[in-house]
Amino acid sequence: MTRIAVVGATGNVGRVMLEVLRERRLDDDLVLFASPRSAGREIDGRPVHVLDDGADLTGIDIALFSAGASTSRAWARRFADAGAVVVDNSSAFRRDPEIPLVVAEVNPHALRGHGGIIANPNCSTMQLMVALAPIHRAVGIERLVVSTYQSVSGTGKAALDELDAQTRAAIDGREAPEPSVYPDQIAFNVIGAAGSFPDGDDHTDEERKMMFETRKILEDPEIGVAVTCVRVPVRVSHSESVNVQTREPLSVERAVELLRDAPGVALGPPDVPPARWTPSPLQAAGRDEVFVGRLRRDESHPSALQMWVVSDNLRKGAATNAVQIVELISGDRVPV
Amino acid sequence: MTRIAVVGATGNVGRVMLEVLRERRLDDDLVLFASPRSAGREIDGRPVHVLDDGADLTGIDIALFSAGASTSRAWARRFADAGAVVVDNSSAFRRDPEIPLVVAEVNPHALRGHGGIIANPNCSTMQLMVALAPIHRAVGIERLVVSTYQSVSGTGKAALDELDAQTRAAIDGREAPEPSVYPDQIAFNVIGAAGSFPDGDDHTDEERKMMFETRKILEDPEIGVAVTCVRVPVRVSHSESVNVQTREPLSVERAVELLRDAPGVALGPPDVPPARWTPSPLQAAGRDEVFVGRLRRDESHPSALQMWVVSDNLRKGAATNAVQIVELISGDRVPV
C-alpha cells in the first residue's frame, strides 16, 4: 500500500487532490498536512496534521504539495530526504534544471531519474501543453500569442470569497467591499494583469511561468511565447485564446486529426464544425479533459491556427496531473 | 438650431446617446423614435414617436440611428431623402464602399463628400482604432492578434437582464434560469465566440467586423487581423488584449510618446510604468477616453508590442463617437 501525504490539504487544490485520489482509489493510506491555522481539523474523518518541526515524515511514499512556494521551499526536500517522492504544485522548483516539470500526457519520460522532487506545471501552462504538444511534435511550434481568461479559484479560497461578497453587493445595489486579494474589484470586472510583477519586469510572474514552462516542457528553447494573463469573474476553469504559428503549415483538418488522437484532449461532437464549437468554463468544471474549440485558420498568417482551450484549473491544471504523476511513478507505466 | 432625431432612443445605446447629447449641449431640439413596443412612452418629458409609415421626417437635420441593422436598412435612406444626415450605429452600411466609416479622432477626412449616410464603427473596432491609428501612421501595422473581453451591454438590455437573473440565482445557490439571449450561461462564465456565425464562416460576425472595419478605417487592405471575440460577465466596457506587429520596429518609449499626444487616448499616471498600468472595465465605464495599459515589448517578435485597451462600449464605442461626428459635420472643425 502506498502512503500518500497531501500537504496543503485544506486549500482549493488540496480538497480537489483528495477528491481525485478517492476517484482513482489511491486514498487507502492518506496523511493530511496543513498550516497551524487548521490545527485540530478533520477532513472526511482524517486528522489534519500541522506541518511543524514535530511532524512525523517517516513511512511516506509520496507527498503531494499544494501549499504555496514558501512551504515547498521549506519542506519538500525534508520529505524527500525522509524517503518520499514529492510532487510539488508550487512554482518553487519548476525552473530548476535538475527537476523534471511534467505534464502526464506530454513528457512522462522526463520523470526518469528524478531526484525525489517532481514539479507540477502552472495551471495555465498545463492545459496549453496538453493541447499543443501533439501539434509541436507534428510540425513544430514557432510562436504562440496567448491571452488568458483565468478563474478566481486559481488564486485561492479568499479570492472566491471576495468574488462572492463583491457580487452580492453589486447585485443588491450596495457599494462593493474594498478589494483585498486583488488590486481591483473582480466582480463584474476583468483584471488585465493576473499575478504580480517581479521587480523590474514588464510581465507578471504568471506570464513568465507560461513563457518559461512552455519551453521546458516542450523541450524547445526556441519557441516564442507572447502572453497576457487576465483574471475574469469565473469561479473554476481557465480559458485561453491561442494563436499558434507553426514551423510547417498545418491544415485545420490535420490539426483535428492530431488532437482527436491526443490523450487528455476533448474536441466537440462530430456534427459541430471545430471552428464553431465553443467550450466554456462551466462546461469544463469538474472534468479532467482539456477542451479545444474554435479551431480555425488564422487568415493573417500562412502558417497559423487559432483555438480556444478550456480546462478545470483545479483538476487537470493541478490535482489531476499531480495524481497522474503518482500513477506514473508508482505503477509500471513509465519505468523510472 | 439643429434638430436631431434619435432612432432607437429607448435602447442601451439610445439612452447613452441622449446623455452625451445633453452633456455636449446638443439637446435643444431632439425628436425621439423607437419601435411600436415603446408607443406612448416619454423620456425626460419628450414623447417617443413610433417609427412607422406615419412618422414625420421633415425638418430633421441629423438622425442618429441605433436600433439595429434591419431598422437602419428600412429607414436610414428615407431620413436621408427627407434631408437629414444619418449617423448609423448599426452594421447595415459599414461595408458599403460609398459610405464613410468614421472614428472621429482617426479619419474625420472620410466625412468629406458623404452622401447623407455615415457609418459609426462597431464598438470593439472603435476603441482599437483610437489606440492603433497613431502607431499605424508612424510605422505601419503589419498584423494584429487580438482577443476581446466584451461586456454584456453590447448585446442589449435583455442580455443585461439575463446576466442579472443568472447571477442572482447562482449567488443564492439556485439553478440559473436557462439562457435565452446567449447560447450559454454568461454569469460566472465566459463565451468564447461573441456574435453569431454567418453561413459557412469559421469566424463570428463580430470577428469579421473587426477584421473588415480595421482595414477600411486605417485605409490599408494589407493589415493582417487575427481576432477572437469573447463575451465576459461584465456590464459595461470592452477590454482587448492586443498584439501589434509593426512594419518598422517601434520602441515602447516611442509608442508612449505617440499615444501621449493622441486625441481620445488615456495613458496611466506618469509614476506607473506603462507595462504595469492595468485599466479595468469598471474604471472606463462612463468615460469617453480609450484607456491603453500593459504597453510592453513582445519578446517573441523583433517588431511587436503588446497592450491592453479598455473603453466604455456604449460611449466611445457607440454614442460618443456618433455625437462627435455630429459636431464634425455641423461645426466648422472639418469642412465637408
SS3 B40: coil
pLDDT at A179 over 60: yes
Q: Which residue does chain A place closest to B310, by CA atoms?
A: A192
Average pLDDT of span A324-333: 83
**Fold type of domain A4-121+318-330:** Rossmann fold (3.40.50)
pLDDT digit string, tens, across residues B147-166: 999 999 999 999 999 999 99
* Spatial distance between the Cα atoms of B206 and B151, rounded to a whole number of angstroms: 13
| Placement of cell 455615415 in the chain | B118
pLDDT number for residue A251: 98
pLDDT at A334 over 60: no
pLDDT number for residue A335: 39
pLDDT at B196 over 60: yes
Q: Is B45 exposed, middle or buried (0-12, 13-18, 19+ CB in 10 A)?
A: exposed
pLDDT number for residue B176: 86
* Mean pLDDT (chain A, rounded): 96
Percent pLDDT > 90 in chain B is 94
Active site residue A49: no
Flag whether the ipTM exceeds 0.90.
Answer: yes
CA distances from B329 to A167, A287, B85, B286 (A): 43, 56, 9, 25
Average pLDDT of span A297-308: 98
Crossing angle of the two packed helices B123-139 and B205-217, in degrees rounded to 10: 40
Q: Count of CB atoms within 10 A of residue A200's CB?
A: 6
* Spatial distance between the Cα atoms of B92 and B117, rounded to a whole number of angstroms: 11
Active site residue A238: yes
Delimiting residues of CATH 3.30.360.10 domain(s) in chain B: 125-312
pLDDT digit string, tens, across residues B278-327: 999 999 999 999 999 999 999 999 999 999 999 999 999 999 999 999 99
pLDDT number for residue A336: 39
| Placement of cell 454584456 in the chain | B152
B208 Ramachandran zone, left/alpha/beta (phi>0; psi -120 to 50): alpha
Q: How confident is the model at residue B39 (pLDDT cuts 50, 70, 90)?
A: confident
pLDDT at A227 over 80: yes
pLDDT number for residue B330: 87
Q: A149, B280: Cβ pair inside 8 Å?
A: no
What CATH number labels A125-313?
Answer: 3.30.360.10
- Residues facing residue B290 across a β-bridge: B265
Delimiting residues of CATH 3.40.50.720 domain(s) in chain A: 4-121+318-330
Q: How confident is the model at residue B270 (pLDDT cuts 50, 70, 90)?
A: very high
Beta strand A238-246 with A141-149 is antiparallel
Average pLDDT of span B95-110: 98
A58 neighbors A5 (Cβ within 8 angstroms) = no
CATH H superfamily, domain B125-312 = Dihydrodipicolinate Reductase; domain 2 (3.30.360.10)
Nearest CB to B281 within list A167, A189, A211: A189
* Spatial distance between the Cα atoms of A163 and A186, rounded to a whole number of angstroms: 6
pLDDT at A228 over 90: yes
Interface of A with B in 204-233 (CB under 8 A): 211, 224-226, 228, 230, 232-233
Instruction: Provide the whole-model pTM.
Output: 0.96
Nearest CB to A308 within list B192, B298, B300: B192
Tell me, yes or no, if B272 comes closer than 8 A to chain A by beta carbon. no
Query: A-chain residues within 8 Å CB-CB of B149?
Result: 149, 190, 230, 232
Average pLDDT of span A284-302: 98
Q: B282, A202: Cβ pair inside 8 Å?
A: no
